[in-house]
Structure 1
């Protein structure tokens, strides 16, 4: 026994030592000296206490080469997984379960568009040269270091990263903004299968001219539902971020305590590990920027320095039209366009699948765009559904646009940069130290024929799907130095002089921000701006409940239930961790939606609809209209009404909360039901979740409040799936003391000390300094030219 115990101890020690050696070999290097090919001069990389690199170079090519190198050592797996998603190559490493996602992304033709964008690049432009230097840095790190742990677990063979990868990821970002895949099929189903009166809660009128000339078959509806569900699940299956919304505001110096403009921003993106943003300060002669970077992009999507800064929100303009094609009865490969039968283009692609034979897919394209429903294979309906997508139809010099935006210190420069961002649609909110503030809705907006409502699937055999060109950027929604002294952007529909259809968020969040910012007695600074970013209230809950309170008082069965109703009546619509009314309202909202809508929509379309932004606006309208046809239960022996549905929803809400959270309503606290876990792509499989995922944390806030920690409409509990991907506050009186926070940590390398070191501070609403150099370094990495390059200088 003694010998056995000794042997066991040796085995454990060897395993522990091997594990320690393995982990240490994967960690980023943040001090010492490293020779990097291609450098013209030494580069200093000073790391602060959060692991953020502050890069100082003597020229811009060296600056971007160094950025690529340090970005790769912190986020190489993120770069790999994002390019594979965008290019439809996930099944090669994750297996056949990701084959539908790969097929969907191949059908979007993102890779083909990246090739066209690549061919249009000016190989001598500053943006192109910066991208090449950055990619050389990424590839230099990959070629000279052990593979990340995720590469080992998945058997990923490293291959160089290219400009085509970068441009493909731009397509993935544009796709993640698009709501049409889910919303247009659901609204068209309601219009064509239920009737015009059912559209009233969506504020959409019945348009006889909008009906399809050839009604869709049952198989078409099934395939559209499948497509909508696949589109929604595609990014979630890979645990990759999807863009959902955002807050941003700029306050002129006349309204701030310091007398200088103040900029605030928190883009709302799905949570994941690694975090979506990589922070780095870049410094070279004539250029300085504290930026927030995405994988394989050398240009910051968010940033600031002492002179200017910007944030962004989703414009949410409708830049995708789904088009039902009319098929030639004599030839299934022809569709009717402009009065003629046009042959569909065909291409064949092969998708590699881990552990299995490659799968060949045939992709078709109509004159309106790629046919997207055939990704469903044998389950696709007989009607081809094509996709017109602005990302595929615009020049979109987005690299040049963001390269210029990173240097846009005046209104004129910012406006010029914004005009080059054509897809996806973005609101750019900007301020500078000279006192200017501005907002530009950046997108190339299509001109559709009069009377066409792109909220529905369009008829490809008519002129509905035609595009008559694009509006000039000068008529896009925008503001420069408004008389109000402030600008707010929160994804609601902006005022415009041209039609700007889209899938906008409710105005409640924007109204809440505007209500505070409009107060002339308040002088804004970074302290009271923190409270506004962390605000957990809007009017949505109270205004949805208001027309139902009388009914709820009637259906309450006893004193305990009547007390709960009165608590709801007094509730201000806020979501702190200890609120029980927030929990009860959220459960009731779901049960009300289910009781009213599910009998018409069934198990297929109901989940699709409640996953769209359309449901947010629909439910308050439904609650306020006692005559809505949705209150009538289909298939019931007797006609129901609003009171019957409210009673059913109330009873189900109480029953569910009692079963899931206990019989004592004082224990139905929001923080027990509403939680945040940051999920890694490999964390879906146990026990890997213990190594890669971060959390779980009790989460304040909710959907469509300023602190927009959002969960899907559904029964308790509610896992948070998206929210502020960073929070930023910059007072241009002292931009070197700007505030920020990362939801997880700067590093994407498991077991690194910066992998999750900001997660608790984030959920608690704390901030860190986004310091501008020179900074006190916790460590310094010195990158130097290789011996051959050094001797040649």
Structure 2
């Protein structure tokens, strides 16, 4: 027994030593000297206490080559997974369960579009040259260093990263913005299967123009519902960032304590491990920028220096239409287009499957775009549904746009850069030290025939689904140096300067109204401190607005004094979501039960599940609550007609029953922080016990759905997992941009066991901010390692 225990102890010690060596060998090198081919001169990379690299190079090519190398040190697995998702190659490493996701992304045409776009790019443009140097740095790291642990666990072979990969990832990012794919099938079902009275809750006009000529068959509805769910599932199961919303504002010097403009920004993105943004300070003679970079992108999507700063929010414009094609009865491979039958284009692709047979695809395209039913393979219904998507149809020199934006120190330069962003639509909020502030809704907006409402599936056999052209950039919503002294962007529907409707899937106005009310308060001089409080605000008027018309019914539904006290909590609630709030917990459970009671019987489980994933539900619920005569209140499963009071009572009783079952019988224990938590999930952390190794959390989370501190969850039953929220919080006062503040939700590194893998997670959830070191003095004082990259040979 003694010998056995001794042997076991030796084996455990050896395994521990091996694990320690293995983890150490894969960690980023942040000190010392490494040779890098193709450098013209040495590059210095100083790492600060958060693991952020501060790169000093002698020229632009060396800078971007070094950025690629250090970015890969921290995020190579993230880069690999993003390109595989975007190009439909996940099943090759994750197995058959990802075939549906791969088939969807192949069907969307992102891969084919990226390959064609890469062939057309100007090889001599500065942006292209920066990308090539950056990718060379990534590939040199990959060729010279040990593979990430995830590569070994999944059996991933190393292969070079390419321009096509970067362009494909840009397509994925654009697609994750596209709410239409998940919304139009549900809205069309409501219109065609339920009728116009049911549409009133969604604030959508009927607009018969563009309506599908022939009714969709049952199999077609199943297709559309399957596609809507597949679209959402593909984004969630990959465990990768998904773009959801954002806050940004710029305050002019007349309203700041410093007398210079102040910029605030917190893009709302799905939480994942690693976090979406990679921070880096870049400098070479004549250029300096502190930037937040996305995987496989050399130019910063967010950034600042001493002269200017900018942030982004989603425009939310509808740049994707679903179009039902009319097929030739004598030839199902032809559709009716502009007065004649035309052949569908077709191409063959193959998906490689780990430990399985490859899957062959036939992917078709009509003159309107890819036939998305092909994502379902042989199970697809008879009506081809095409996807017109601005990302595939416009020139979209988005790499050039952000390359120029990284250098845009004047209104004219920033405006010009914004005009080159065609898809996805972005709100660009910008400020400079000279005193200017600006906002441009950046997108190439398609013109649609009068009366066509693209929230519904359109008829491809009529001209109603065609696009006669695009609006000029000058017609986009925008502001420069407004008299009120500030600009707010929070994903709500903007006013069109020309009066032309801009269809979109906009967020509730409440979050933007909350920010606007605070920024409009007279006498306040904005600085970094009170701006932090505004970014961390946990309230909006949405909850009280939704509850107001229902309070009488809720009071009538309360069965005893305890329930009456809970109703009065809701009646007096200000819509805030601190950790200790019971009212926030009760409200969010009630919202779900109200939607379920009113809508599930008409929609069925599948379409109701899809509706819960859309923004249109947020718009519908307050309108439904205010309309006692809405047909939604009647339960189709009973012989008599239910009223709003009946629906409210049923939702109230179901809410209390669920919360007692989930959180305990005592309502005093129904604290928001107990029910609402944030876990940062790694792609491999979805499988137990790997979640213990790769995931970070859970953390009790303040904030909630569509409040400024938008730590948001999906509408559903308690407990709630935070799904998305501020992917960073940044504050830049242009009077002292060297001392800007920010935070990463997790950590700079994506390498498990590295000290920067999760070192900011607790500070983030507590609402803390950390310095983004910029001055030479601060960088030097906070450097914890210096990596010198020298020319090879």
Within 5 Å, give how 1:20-99 maps onto structure 2: 20-99=20-99
How much does 1:434 deviate? Answer: 0.5
- Distance of 1:20 and 1:283 partners within structure 2: 35
Moved beyond 4 Å, runs of 4+ = none
| Counterpart secondary structure, 2:737 | coil
Q: Indicate if the aligned counterparts of 1:702 and 1:709 stay in contact, CA closer than 8 A.
A: yes
| Counterpart secondary structure, 1:682 | helix
Residue matched to 1:175: 175
Residue matched to 2:785: 779
Between 244-253 and 369-378, report the one with greater CA deviation. 369-378
How much does 1:730 deviate? Answer: 0.3
1:722 to 709, 724, 733: 724
- Distance of 1:373 and 1:537 partners within structure 2: 41
Residue matched to 1:215: 215
Q: Indicate if the aligned counterparts of 2:209 and 2:453 stay in contact, CA closer than 8 A.
A: no
Write the deviation string for residues 448-480 of structure 1: whole angstroms up to 9, x where unpaired.
Answer: 101100000000001111101111111111000
How much does 1:59 deviate? Answer: 0.6
- Distance of 1:731 and 1:773 partners within structure 2: 14
Residue matched to 1:556: 558
Write the deviation string for residues 337-374 of structure 1: whole angstroms up to 9, x where unpaired.
Answer: 11211111111100000001111010010010000012
1:682 to 681, 684, 690: 684
Residue matched to 2:142: 142
How much does 1:727 deviate? Answer: 0.2
- Distance of 1:223 and 1:563 partners within structure 2: 47
How much does 1:663 deviate? Answer: 0.7
Residue matched to 1:309: 309
Q: Indicate if the aligned counterparts of 1:56 and 1:283 stay in contact, CA closer than 8 A.
A: yes
- Distance of 2:440 and 2:119 partners within structure 1: 28
Residue matched to 2:235: 235
- Distance of 2:653 and 2:262 partners within structure 1: 48
| Counterpart secondary structure, 1:545 | helix
Q: Indicate if the aligned counterparts of 2:678 and 2:721 stay in contact, CA closer than 8 A.
A: yes
- Is 1:352–2:356 an aligned residue pair? no
Normalised TM-score (structure 1) = 0.99
| Counterpart secondary structure, 2:464 | coil
| Counterpart secondary structure, 1:233 | helix
Residue matched to 1:507: 509
Within 5 Å, give how 1:588-607 maps onto structure 2: 588-607=590-609
| Counterpart secondary structure, 2:451 | coil
Within 5 Å, give how 1:373-392 maps onto structure 2: 373-392=373-392
Q: Mind listing any 5+ residue stretches in structure 2 that lack a counterpart?
A: none
- Is 1:547–2:549 an aligned residue pair? yes
Q: Indicate if the aligned counterparts of 1:315 and 1:491 stay in contact, CA closer than 8 A.
A: yes
Write the deviation string for residues 519-543 of structure 1: whole angstroms up to 9, x where unpaired.
Answer: 1211000000000000000000000
Write the deviation string for residues 241-277 of structure 1: whole angstroms up to 9, x where unpaired.
Answer: 1000000000000000000000000000000000000
- Is 1:261–2:290 an aligned residue pair? no
- Distance of 1:87 and 1:671 partners within structure 2: 39
How much does 1:117 deviate? Answer: 1.8
Normalised TM-score (structure 2) = 0.99
Write the deviation string for residues 715-766 of structure 1: whole angstroms up to 9, x where unpaired.
Answer: 1000011000000000011111100000000000000000000000000000
- Distance of 1:79 and 1:185 partners within structure 2: 32
Residue matched to 1:246: 246
- Distance of 1:5 and 1:502 partners within structure 2: 67
Between 561-570 and 9-18, report the one with greater CA deviation. 9-18
1:671 to 655, 670, 673: 673
Residue matched to 2:637: 635
How much does 1:119 deviate? Answer: 2.1
Residue matched to 2:571: 569
- Distance of 2:342 and 2:451 partners within structure 1: 25
Q: Indicate if the aligned counterparts of 1:54 and 1:773 stay in contact, CA closer than 8 A.
A: no
Within 5 Å, give how 1:94-133 maps onto structure 2: 94-133=94-133
Aligned length: 787
Q: Indicate if the aligned counterparts of 2:428 and 2:441 stay in contact, CA closer than 8 A.
A: yes
- Distance of 1:443 and 1:212 partners within structure 2: 27
- Distance of 1:773 and 1:234 partners within structure 2: 42
- Distance of 2:641 and 2:772 partners within structure 1: 61
| Counterpart secondary structure, 1:357 | coil
Within 5 Å, give how 1:644-723 maps onto structure 2: 644-723=646-725
Write the deviation string for residues 500-521 of structure 1: whole angstroms up to 9, x where unpaired.
Answer: 1000000000000000001121
Residue matched to 2:470: 470
Q: Indicate if the aligned counterparts of 2:705 and 2:711 stay in contact, CA closer than 8 A.
A: yes
- Distance of 1:725 and 1:318 partners within structure 2: 23
| Counterpart secondary structure, 1:248 | strand
- Distance of 2:493 and 2:722 partners within structure 1: 25
| Counterpart secondary structure, 2:362 | strand
How much does 1:45 deviate? Answer: 0.2
How much does 1:230 deviate? Answer: 0.3
Q: Indicate if the aligned counterparts of 2:210 and 2:462 stay in contact, CA closer than 8 A.
A: no
Residue matched to 1:333: 333
- Is 1:443–2:443 an aligned residue pair? yes
- Distance of 2:617 and 2:16 partners within structure 1: 52
Indicate the RMSD between aligned Cα atoms, in angstroms: 0.7
How much does 1:635 deviate? Answer: 3.0
| Counterpart secondary structure, 2:209 | helix
| Counterpart secondary structure, 1:105 | helix
- Distance of 2:491 and 2:597 partners within structure 1: 29
- Distance of 1:649 and 1:564 partners within structure 2: 14
Residue matched to 1:790: none
How much does 1:378 deviate? Answer: 2.9
Q: Indicate if the aligned counterparts of 1:265 and 1:729 stay in contact, CA closer than 8 A.
A: yes
| Counterpart secondary structure, 2:376 | helix
- Distance of 1:437 and 1:520 partners within structure 2: 19
| Counterpart secondary structure, 1:318 | coil
| Counterpart secondary structure, 1:291 | strand
- Distance of 1:228 and 1:181 partners within structure 2: 6
- Distance of 1:465 and 1:374 partners within structure 2: 20
- Is 1:621–2:623 an aligned residue pair? yes
- Is 1:737–2:739 an aligned residue pair? yes
How much does 1:556 deviate? Answer: 0.7
Between 68-77 and 106-115, report the one with greater CA deviation. 106-115
- Distance of 1:779 and 1:647 partners within structure 2: 62
How much does 1:278 deviate? Answer: 0.2
Within 5 Å, give how 1:480-495 maps onto structure 2: 480-495=480-495
How much does 1:2 deviate? Answer: 2.2
- Distance of 1:773 and 1:779 partners within structure 2: 17
Q: Indicate if the aligned counterparts of 2:210 and 2:465 stay in contact, CA closer than 8 A.
A: no
How much does 1:439 deviate? Answer: 0.3
| Counterpart secondary structure, 2:683 | coil
- Distance of 1:2 and 1:360 partners within structure 2: 59
Residue matched to 2:530: 528
- Distance of 1:114 and 1:637 partners within structure 2: 55
Q: Indicate if the aligned counterparts of 1:43 and 1:62 stay in contact, CA closer than 8 A.
A: yes
